[in-house]
A = this chain, B = another copy of it.
Amino acid sequence: MATFSLHQSSLFSSTTLQTRPRSRLAISTKVRMSLQETGPSIAVVGVTGAVGQEFLSVLSDRDFPYRSIKMLASKRSAGRRLTFQENEYVIEELTADSFNGVDIALFSAGGSISREFGPIAVDKGTIVVDNSSAFRMDEKVPLVIPEVNPEAMGDIKLGNGKGALIANPNCSTIICLVAATPLHRRATVKRMVVSTYQAASGAGAAAMEELEQQTREVLEGRPPTCKIFSQQYAFNLFSHNASVQSNGYNEEEMKMVKETRKIWNDPDVKVTATCIRVPVMRAHAESVNLQFEKPLDEDTARDILKSAPGIVVIDDRTANHFPTPLEVSNKDDVAVGRIRRDLSQEGNQGLDIFVCGDQIRKGAALNAIQIAEMLL
């Protein structure tokens, strides 16, 4: 039997700061009907990947209703078995026929798989929630963070037999905008300077394993094995591995620039980003400097954030307790702290904030499943 436990039960979620019990894929604590009879028929594309595993975990945690579920992956993984909510499934190879009768497909198998199979699924009447970057900037495809721009879903709905594509934004964009949007609504962000501290998980399960392996090697005085990344990751950090464009920005940074404009429906908002990979396992952090059109003092900002959906404010100056990647790992909420008036701007025209969010969860799987929930 295939096991999918490494990144959910291993050392990085067994720390003292890991307080929220996780549902386990293989040992569900819930008593369920062996086959549910209501809800849509769903498919998970890329089920063996880090996000694919998290799709299953989030579906279970949120009691997402489904009539049936297909586990889809590449030919290499086909035939392996997987226990989910006390039922055993055989992983099937993704083919053009995979979407017959499927209402909702959650894709996380890379851009080329999405480009090939996304349109096929849509033709069969499936609503595709796609975690890749393939369709994000397509004008016809909504790019949705449920807390931010649910209206972008338009008239996409289940039950009318019409397929559709919905894009999940880039993880860094989601985590940044969950925090920045409530402030944007009040004071209108005109410029945003973001520096990221991105976890291994954004490069997939193999990158997480590489970080762990390299760390062991370095501690043992051995040279680190570099397969996913071209340079040492353990006890180091480096500019994001996405390719660099002619304007000097890498693709990850340009996603933040472009996706923010689309999600906020504001082609004029100014964004610059510097995206850095740090030796952290599964949650991103972001240092965000905001310039507003209208004044917004830090106490009002804190109150706005405290009552905003999907956010937990961790901002204890006395205890020096602010968001950390470890503390948000396996959590749904984006944590916001270090909320303060930017001394480099006049009056209350600017704020600095520090944001952390689980890259695999809110940065990918959870956001996609929240989109799917909006269809129910």
Contact = CB atoms under 8 A, between A and B. Distances in A.
Nearest to A248: B340
Interface size class of A (residues with CB under 8 A): 35 or more
Given A219-B215, A230-B320, A287-B195, A326 B235 contact: yes
Interface in A295-327: 298, 317-318, 320, 322, 324-326
B235 A343 contact: no
Contacts of A370: none
A265 B155 CA distance: 59
B219 A11 contact: yes
A216 interface: yes
A90 interface: no
B324 A14 contact: no
A50 interface: no
Given A215-B219, A239-B320, A354-B239, A344 B248 contact: no
A343 B271 CA distance: 7
A270 B237 contact: no
A342 interface: yes
A26 to B, nearest CB: 19
A5 interface: no
Interface string A1-28: 0000000000110111100000000000
A318 to B, nearest CB: 8
Interface in A162-192: 191-192
B249 A197 contact: no
Interface string A325-344: 11000000000011111111
Interface in A183-225: 191-193, 195, 197, 211-212, 215-216, 218-219, 221, 223-224
